[in-house]
Chain A
Amino acid sequence: MPVESADIAYDHASSANTTHPYETWEQLRRECPVAFSSEYGGFYFLTKYEDVCQAALNCEVFSSADGTATPPQPIQLIPEEVDPPEQRWFRRVLNPEFAPGAVSALEPKIRVIARDLMAKQRECQQFDFGTEFSLPFPRMVTMEVVGIPASDVENLSRWVGAMATREDIVETELAGISLFSYLQNLVTASRELGGGGLVDSLLHRSVEGRSLTDDEMVRMLVLLLLGGLTTTTGAISGMTLWLADHPEDVTRLRNNPEMIDSAIDEFVRHSSPISHIGRVTREEVTISGCTIPMGARVMLGFGAANRDPDQFERPEEVVLDRPPSRHLGFGLGPHRCVGLHLARLMIRVALEELLSSFGSFRVADRDALRFIGGEGRALISLPLSVSPLEE
């Protein structure tokens, strides 16, 4: 018998669910793992690991083509909001650009960016790790990777910054329009003049025997520019918050640098920068005994699934040497994060530079912690008190 879900009125972008969602997620997982919320025109919300996996892996039933944000955004992003098999064609174009080998070649440049940002704070006793590091670092790396001309970086940083932190609705909207038209011009100019970088390289790749259209290029570039920003910010800030509160883990990482690589994925699981992602059902489907009708918007709770105690022991803790875990911090299935190797590299460089820049660090003002929420959830303000390394 289908279970009728009561309205839980869950809003993934509310201030409570942005700042501290864990108790709500825990309660839902226990009492109503396939929940219905009437917010944003109505959607189902999955919070159990197994249920979220089932939906993420079944792209035929759980489609991304009607938008993955709730409510859906006005432009359809490629390849995130395209279903297989078309989705695979676009991924084939992007994958080589973000493969492990291509990404590791970027490490020296990424390290210089991180080191320069950290160096500015070395003499301080206190600074906002969000404003001064975890926000600008991924932004500067992304500009470098996409190949934005130096003269445009300042404007573009302002626009993507406004879109990432969404502090002001009007400003966010204007920034979106500016970014969109900038990218259209960039693609046109690259097509005519060349210019190297990722844009040029994408223009020379083919999709099912043809080249990408300008419109497809712009939809891809918007995703590349925005997709890796607050997500990586969230992972780096989340990691730093945990380490600020757990100096014993800082010591372990200093003494056992070989732990860093697997610790990174544990930090990503713990912070789950993409906490929610939307799908729309193409047919009626049953999840954990609950029937979801055709055409329903369904939100996959990656953040909630990553804290599911049936899948992860002591899920609320960062366990640096946790045995390999099938976490969903980078998503699952055909849509898994295209930039995950770049993200892992940025997180590792951030961690190494943090450890080599300061002897110790702790949260300076817990009331000033500020998160942004929605599909992505990230700590963007993290005031730290720091002390220098002892020589």
Chain B
Amino acid sequence: MSAKVRVVENQCQGHGQCFIQCPSVFVPDDEGFVIPPEGEVAADLIADVRKAVDACPERALEFIEDYEGT
């Protein structure tokens, strides 16, 4: 079992809540929008990633559980 986080296209407006909640996964680009994180979320970061997903006012982040890695 693994988890991923997806950024809904064109929905990020750069509030930066995710950078505060989980800075090791969510990083801003030069304009302040989130760079879509790649790969699986490390197990010890899942709680923080969930907080970031819950904090996004634009609902631009989607937490995908039980992701079947390819």
Kindly list chain B residues whose C-beta atoms are within 8 Å of the C-beta of A341.
Answer: 16, 32
Name B17's closest neighbour in chain A (CB-CB): A324
Question: In the bound complex, do residue B15 and residue A99 qualify as a contact, i.e. CB atoms below 8 Å apart?
Answer: no
Q: Is the CB of B19 within 8 A of A100?
A: yes
Residues of A60-107 at the interface with B, using a CB-CB cut-off of 8 Å, are 92, 95-96, 98-101
Nearest B-chain residue to A53, judged by Cβ: B57
Asked if B28 and A100 make an inter-chain contact with CB atoms under 8 angstroms apart, the answer reads: yes
How far apart are the CA atoms of A265 and B55 in the complex, in Å? 10
B62 at the A interface (CB under 8 A): no
Q: A324-B52, A326-B56, A332-B58 are in contact. Are A265 and B31 (CB under 8 A)?
A: no
Known: A323-B51, A327-B57, A341-B32. A336 touches B13 (CB 8 A): yes
Q: Which residues of A contact B55 (CB under 8 A)?
A: 324-326
| Residues 15 to 61 of chain B near chain A (Cβ within 8 Å) | 15-17, 19-21, 28-33, 51-52, 54-59
A137 to B56, CA, bound (A): 29
**Is the Cβ of A326 less than 8 Å from the Cβ of B20?**
no
Interface size class of B (residues with CB under 8 A): 20 to 34
A365 within 8 A of B: no
Known contacts A262-B20, A333-B13, A336-B13: A96-B58 contact under CB 8 Å: no
Q: A98 near B20 (CB under 8 angstroms)?
A: no
Which A residues from 288 to 330 make CB contacts under 8 A with B? 323-328, 330
Which DSSP category, helix, strand, loop or mixed, fits chain A's interface? helix
Provide the residues of chain B in CB contact with A334, threshold 8 Å.
13
- Interface size (A, Cβ < 8 Å)? 25
In chain A, what residue has the closest Cβ to B18?
A: A324
State whether B15 touches A340 (Cβ < 8 A).
yes
CA distance A274 to B17 in the complex (A): 19
Residue numbers in A under 8 Å from B52 (CB-CB): 324
Given A324-B52, A324-B54, A328-B57, the answer on whether A95 and B14 have CB atoms closer than 8 Å is yes
Assess whether A4 is interfacial by the CB under 8 Å rule.
no
Enumerate chain B residues within 8 angstroms of A336, measured Cβ to Cβ.
13-15, 57
Q: Return the contact of A333 from the options B20, B54, B58 (Cβ within 8 A).
A: B58
Assembly CA distance A330 to B19 (angstroms): 16
Known contacts: A324-B54, A325-B55, A333-B58. The answer to whether A95 contacts B31 by CB under 8 A is: yes
Our pick among A95, A324, A327, A333 for the contact of B51 (Cβ within 8 Å) is: A324
Task: State how many angstroms separate the Cβ of B29 from the closest Cβ of chain A.
Answer: 8
Are A96 and B30 within 8 A (Cβ)?
Answer: yes
CA distance A265 to B51 in the complex (A): 14
Complex Cα gap A333–B10 (Å): 11
C-alpha spacing A332/B11, complex, angstroms: 11
Partner of A99, one of B13, B28, B56: B28
Select which of A99, A261, A323 is within 8 A of B30 by beta carbon.
Answer: A99
User: In the bound complex, what is the Cα–Cα distance between A336 and B17 (angstroms)?
Assistant: 13
List, in ascending order, chain B residues with CB within 8 A of A344's CB: 16
CB distance from B56 to the nearest CB of A (A): 7
The reply to whether B16 and A332 form a contact with Cβ atoms under 8 Å apart is no
Q: Is the CB of A92 within 8 A of B15?
A: no
Q: How far does the alpha carbon of A98 sit from the alpha carbon of B16 in the complex, in Å?
A: 12
Q: A residues within 8 A CB of B16?
A: 100, 340-341, 344
Do the beta carbons of A100 and B17 come within 8 Å of each other? no
Q: Is the CB of B21 within 8 A of A324?
A: yes
Q: Shortest beta-carbon distance, A192 to chain B, in Å?
A: 29
* Assembly CA distance A325 to B14 (angstroms): 16
Query: Do A96 and B17 touch across chains, with their CB atoms under 8 A apart?
Result: no
Contact present for A96 and B13 (CB under 8 Å): no
B34 to chain A minimum Cβ distance, whole angstroms, is: 11
Q: Give the chain B neighbours of A98 by CB distance below 8 A.
A: 32
What separation, in Å, do the CA atoms of A245 and B37 have in the docked complex? 42
Residues of A within 8 A of B (CB): 57, 92, 95-96, 98-101, 261-262, 265, 323-328, 330, 332-334, 336, 340-341, 344
Q: List 16 A-B contacts (CB under 8 A).
A: A57-B58, A92-B31, A95-B31, A96-B31, A96-B32, A99-B31, A100-B32, A326-B54, A328-B57, A330-B15, A330-B57, A332-B57, A336-B13, A336-B14, A341-B16, A344-B16
* Complex A-B, nearest 8 residue pairs according to Cβ-Cβ distance, in ascending order: A324-B55, A99-B32, A95-B31, A326-B57, A100-B28, A336-B13, A324-B54, A324-B51
